[in-house]
Amino acid sequence: MATGKIRYWAAAKEAAGVAEEPFEAVTLGELMTKITQNRADLARVVRRCSFLVDGSPVGKRPHDEVLLGDGATVEVLPPFAGG
C-alpha cells in the first residue's frame, strides 16, 4: 500500500475542510473511495474534478488503473471559471 499526500484546490479544498492530508491507497480509485466516505460534499465535488499524480495529468484513464507510488502527491483540481 502506497502512502502519500493529497492536495485539494478551490471548491475541493472547501468541501474537504483541509488543504491537504496524508493517504494510504494502491490506486487513485481506492483513494477516491476512501476520501469521499462520509463526506457527501467532497464526493459531489470530486466527480467533476481532474487529477494530477506527481504532476502528471490522469486524463480519462480509469481511476482503478492509476497506480500510486509510495510518496506520491495527488492534486484534486475542480473546474475553474475564467479566462
pLDDT per position in the chain (83 positions), as tens? Answer: 899 999 999 999 999 999 999 999 999 999 999 999 999 999 999 999 999 999 999 999 999 999 999 999 999 999 875 54
Grid cell digits, residue 28:
487513485
Q: What is the pTM of this model?
A: 0.92
Distance between CA atoms of residues 41 and 36, nearest Å = 8
Contact 40, 73 (CB under 8 A): no
- Domain 2-77, what fold? Ubiquitin-like (UB roll) (3.10.20)
In 9-60, the DSSP E strands lie at: 20-25, 50-53, 56-57
Phi and psi based region of residue 38 (left: phi greater than 0; alpha: psi -120 to 50; beta: remaining): left
Query: What residue spans define the domains of the chain?
Result: 2-77
> Within 10 Å of residue 68's Cβ, how many Cβ atoms?
24
